[in-house]
Structure 1
């Protein structure tokens, strides 16, 4: 009994005291290396509460089933990749795409930490054309931009590919997309896959950043409607383009 109380106090102490460095913590029974919780919003949430984006996490827990094949487009440190990996089980698979080298390092470490065998990672960005582009402000907005603002932001050059051009023959059951304004470009690059498999799509719509890629948030909704998707907001009551980013689930 004393040991149980001590462990509870220890866990509570760790939740209220914030480390000032990268740290390995736990969520959903898995280990995850997070960025400094004192500086990273994602790191802080996972460290304090054991999750990131509660509504989206709940949607994942409800929708993902054993044996599914999932794409994680914009995987960052691998929070959702790890969650997908656990939920689909040994007979499922996850393809995880993260073009920012620093984030990809966290992703790969987290896969090793959990001895994950059903995830394959890729270090390029999914887009609507094969070639190269730049990720502007990789530690901030992290948006793809062929003509980056080099005077105000650091940029890194990354390889881009169309998903439809990849040699992946699996049936795709669910696609999670978080690409900081390149949503329409990613969807256009996997249009054939979407038509064939009609996967569940979990997408964060960046209503302002998408305009930098010559699209509007309405373009994404129109495209998904044309593909016969039922669209529901995850983190708000209605789809309001003026409220900033919107996460939608499309079935």
Structure 2
């Protein structure tokens, strides 16, 4: 079995604004170097500064896009940009999702990123020199959508990545959303949300057939999938999605996918030191490059009946039953989590 190191953007931070440095100090980003009193003071300072700031807090990072270096400016008021500069993401963000994309998204395939935020995964995929496919990135919040389009434009990836200022759901029209101070927690609300955004059914959009769907809709996964039944039946894409066991729709989301002929899996890491685990975040804050290189991803078959045996909050994976042969080797043998040199699956 070939081992490979963990996969991330391979970016370099060129400039980090004071607001981002304060945020990193407030939460220590995976490091335990400061005292609890120090962190408390930094948090109070950060929250006060963030709430009163009305102008961009510009940072900058450099990234290789198709073999060429690109400098990209970002507004650190969007806290989701922390994946670029928090210590705990040094070796990759959501390595289970990254591994699934790296192994099952064809080089010329189509990715739908639902809940794209500022575009980490579109950037990760479309910046690869080997990727010749298409990415559709969906982000409904206006301020976050501006971050998304800005990053994609600066990266020179507009031909590969199409950005949609849309929420996806089971109906068409305007819906209400709440967006807390962390943009990654924005949610559709039945009523009373602070923002009105446009929502569409995926089935009603005239887009290419997806090969892979990444779904991060903060509890609206069932609604998104209900509005994509025709796409799921026709295209049979592989799907990775967040599943919070405490959510009202957690079980019904799994029931819907099983009814559509999908087999569910829990991505789990297996290390050389321990037996296979059923957690998608096996890395401690003190993980090193050497320890990460010994981690492998397995796909553990689950059902909605056995979901309760696993951690409350997981990224799950769904594969159409008629395509199980394409993932069978992953079930039988551990995969490298995701590698700097990994190419996307052959078409």
Q: Same fold (TM over 0.5)?
A: yes
Could you say if the C-alpha distance between residues 27 and 230 of structure 1 is closer, same or farther in structure 2, counting changes exceeding 3 Å? farther
Which one scores higher on RCO, CA 8 angstroms, separation ≥ 6? 2
Q: Structure 1: how far apart are the matches of 2:229 and 2:72?
A: 33
8 Å contact kept, 2:74–2:151: no
Task: Determine if the alignment matches structure 1 residue 177 to structure 2 residue 208.
Answer: no
Once the 2 structures are TM-superposed, how far is the Cα of residue 222 of structure 1 from its aligned partner?
1.2
Of 167, 170, 177 in structure 2, the residue corresponding to residue 125 of structure 1 is 167
Give the aligned partner of residue 146 of structure 1. 190
Q: Structure 1: how far apart are the matches of 2:204 and 2:309?
A: 32
Once the 2 structures are TM-superposed, how far is the Cα of residue 114 of structure 1 from its aligned partner?
1.1
8 Å contact kept, 2:114–2:217: yes
Larger Rg over CA atoms: 2
Q: Structure 2: how far apart are the matches of 1:225 and 1:144?
A: 24
8 Å contact kept, 1:131–1:159: yes
Deviations 1:26-57 (A, max 9, x none): 467676555539x83x4333224163222222
Give the aligned partner of residue 102 of structure 2. 61
Matches within 5 A, 1:234-249: 234=267, 237=278, 239-240=307-308, 243-249=311-317
Q: Structure 2: how far apart are the matches of 1:71 and 1:199?
A: 10
SS of the equivalent of 2:96 reads helix
Could you say if the C-alpha distance between residues 13 and 108 of structure 1 is closer, same or farther in structure 2, counting changes exceeding 3 Å? closer
Unaligned runs of 5+ in 2: 1-11, 23-56, 269-276, 280-306, 320-347
Of 65, 88, 98 in structure 1, the residue corresponding to residue 139 of structure 2 is 98
User: Quick check: 108-117 or 90-99, which moved more?
Assistant: 90-99
Q: Structure 2: how far apart are the matches of 1:180 and 1:190?
A: 17
Once the 2 structures are TM-superposed, how far is the Cα of residue 197 of structure 1 from its aligned partner?
0.8
8 Å contact kept, 1:75–1:96: yes
Q: Structure 2: how far apart are the matches of 1:240 and 1:32?
A: 42
8 Å contact kept, 1:19–1:36: no
Once the 2 structures are TM-superposed, how far is the Cα of residue 228 of structure 1 from its aligned partner?
2.0
8 Å contact kept, 1:181–1:207: no
Give the aligned partner of residue 164 of structure 1. 203
Could you say if the C-alpha distance between residues 138 and 58 of structure 1 is closer, same or farther in structure 2, counting changes exceeding 3 Å? same
8 Å contact kept, 1:128–1:189: yes
Equivalenced residues, count: 227
Q: Structure 1: how far apart are the matches of 2:251 and 2:217?
A: 16
8 Å contact kept, 2:108–2:134: yes
User: Quick check: 67-76 or 222-231, which moved more?
Assistant: 222-231
8 Å contact kept, 2:108–2:133: yes
Could you say if the C-alpha distance between residues 137 and 90 of structure 1 is closer, same or farther in structure 2, counting changes exceeding 3 Å? closer
